[in-house]
A and B are shown apart, each in its own frame.
Chain A
Amino acid sequence: MTLHDRLLALDRRWVFGVLALFVIIPLTPMFSNFSVPVTPVKEVREIYDFIEGLKPGDYILLSLDYDPGSLAELHPVAYAMLEQCFAKRLKVITLTLSQTGAQMVEEAVKDVADSCKLYHGFTPERGIDYVYLGYKPYPGLIILGMGMNFRIPFPQDYYGTTLDSIPMMRGIKNYDNVKAVINLSAGNVSDYWVADGNARYGVKLALAMTGVMAADYYPYYQSRQIFGIIGGMKGAAEYESLCKNPGTATEAMKVQVFAHVVIIIFIIIGNLAYFLGRRQTAPTQESR
């Protein structure tokens, strides 16, 4: 059996096993002191700087449009950004346009609000410092509706309180009253925000998204249709580092290094097998 045959016969479960090993080991206490430098890129820094530049009492809308399946990449951004907004004493309007994200987002917002007491000495109050509008189906229509009046798609918040009886929503009509919309998305909701939010209403928009989506949305950053982009777990780690709030994404970066090295090695082995195979089959073709 040649090396080429052996490589071709390699059970793919070995690949899974080795990769799992190199993901588990860096998360053990043995590697607790090991970290990798995280350098924020311009497109992530722009979002951070924008929020830092807002004045206390300014309104910001966070549309947290992801579900538990993409929690790994977007929850760290949501936590860091919500805490930054609360610490800056901004008025935060939150909502979700993802059907399986409603309860998860509610827990995240409450979690961060509760943790503010510990880290910033105050607890943001629901209805005064933040509001959670909940979930409504059909994102395009909801985004268009909010452009006219938040009360059209959301006459009440997640808890059934009418928007007019919520202190921080009095006098707040539509996107004209918010400084920006930050959309954390794991699907095509970002398309709706760019098309219906930015193109139609001129909303100042930034996106945070899963790694799979990121490359497709960079053209919108290039054309300044969005003012910032946070792509995948790396973007999340960069945002955490800017907020000086290291969390699961920052820890995950050291694991990414190991995992990527393993994947690169497997790609090299795969290519080696391919070229060895080509060399073996070439003389046979000539002999015909």
Chain B
Amino acid sequence: MEQTVSIGTILWTTVGVFLTFCLFSFLYKDNPFYKFAEHLVVGVSVGYWAILLYYNGINPNLFSHLFVFANDPTTGAEFNTWTPRLKGIHYIIPALLGIAMWTRFSRKYSWISRYPLALYLGISSGIAIPVTMKNNVLSQLRGTVVGLGFDWSVSGFLGVPQGIWDVVVVVGTISSLIYFFFSKEHKGAWGGTAKLGIYTLMIGFGATFGYTVMARISLLIYRIQYIRDWWKMIF
């Protein structure tokens, strides 16, 4: 069965291919085509984000409380009548705090912005500190030592008993921590353990590097697949 492709799909896919080539052209050297594509990406992203933020943030979270919204009788779409709504008058406080943030641009009145910023930091810290403590400290500590089963009967990575890998995790974590302990000189057994720590860190960095290479190549592959599919569609 032959698939039909709309003119719109062909047109927009072709634009996508053209912009892909524009961006790749930077690898040869900087040029106006690259600059055009770069500016277009930034402009479209900012424009898209601004509109999205208005309709998904400011409109439902602020304006819908401060003003009366009505539905268009023909399309059913909701719109702002800009008639004040007394029931939600207290929403004026966060609105004023938000506006106060903009005083950062004035030398004379920039002190006002410290109030919303202080409130924001206070709330953020109150929310973040307990969960971060639980999430990144307590659960991780538990996972590193208590959570390990030291099970020698279960086969783990590369067919090696899981218990050995659990020992590797404990030794690797402790030796890495010792590497960052500078109050004692790194020599003798202490220095040897610190050296083991740096090797553990290097293995970690290597894994990150390997994943990063794969990720960057993945992006290139996807663009080539996109161009190939466009080619198949056109010819």
Q: Which residues of A contact B (CB under 8 A)?
A: 13, 16, 19-20, 23-24, 27, 71-73, 99-100, 102, 134-138, 140, 144, 155-156, 160, 194-196, 198-200, 210-212, 214-216, 219, 222-225, 231-234, 248, 251-252, 255-256, 259-260, 263
B222 — which chain A residues lie within 8 A by C-beta? 71-72, 248, 252
Q: How large is the interface on B (under 10, 10 to 19, 20 to 34, 35 or more residues)?
A: 35 or more
Contact residues of B: prevailing secondary structure? helix
* A248 B225 Cβ-Cβ under 8 A: yes
- Supply 24 A–B pairs (Cβ within 8 Å), ascending by A: A27-B228, A72-B218, A72-B219, A99-B48, A99-B49, A100-B48, A135-B56, A137-B56, A137-B57, A155-B60, A156-B60, A160-B77, A194-B135, A195-B128, A199-B131, A219-B143, A222-B147, A223-B147, A224-B147, A232-B215, A252-B225, A259-B217, A260-B217, A263-B217
B233 CB–A CB distance under 8 Å:
no
B207 CB–A CB distance under 8 Å:
yes
B214 CB–A CB distance under 8 Å:
yes
For window 116-143 of chain B, which residues contact chain A by CB distance below 8 Å? Answer: 127-128, 131-132, 134-136, 139-140, 142-143
* B143 A225 Cβ-Cβ under 8 A: yes
B127 — which chain A residues lie within 8 A by C-beta? 140, 144, 196
* A215 B53 Cβ-Cβ under 8 A: no
Cβ of A152 to closest chain B Cβ, rounded Å:
11
Cβ of B57 to closest chain A Cβ, rounded Å:
5
* A252 B131 Cβ-Cβ under 8 A: no
Bound-complex Cα distance A234 to B210 (A):
12
B97 CB–A CB distance under 8 Å:
no
A251 — which chain B residues lie within 8 A by C-beta? 225
Bound-complex Cα distance A153 to B214 (A):
36
Whether A135 touches B52, Cβ cut-off 8 Å, given contacts A23-B220, A27-B224, A73-B218, is yes
Given A23-B217, A215-B207, A223-B139, 10 other A-B residues pairs in contact with their CB atoms under 8 A = A71-B222, A73-B218, A134-B56, A140-B127, A199-B131, A212-B215, A215-B204, A232-B211, A255-B224, A259-B221
* B214 A232 Cβ-Cβ under 8 A: yes
* A99 B53 Cβ-Cβ under 8 A: yes
B37-77 vs A, Cβ < 8 Å mask (1 yes, 0 no): 00000000100110011001100100000000000000001
Going nearest first, the 3 A-B pairs with the smallest beta carbon separation are A223-B143, A211-B215, A72-B222
Bound-complex Cα distance A20 to B217 (A):
10
* A211 B135 Cβ-Cβ under 8 A: no
Bound-complex Cα distance A156 to B76 (A):
14
For window 57-106 of chain B, which residues contact chain A by CB distance below 8 Å? Answer: 57, 60, 77-78
* A199 B135 Cβ-Cβ under 8 A: yes
A24 — which chain B residues lie within 8 A by C-beta? 224
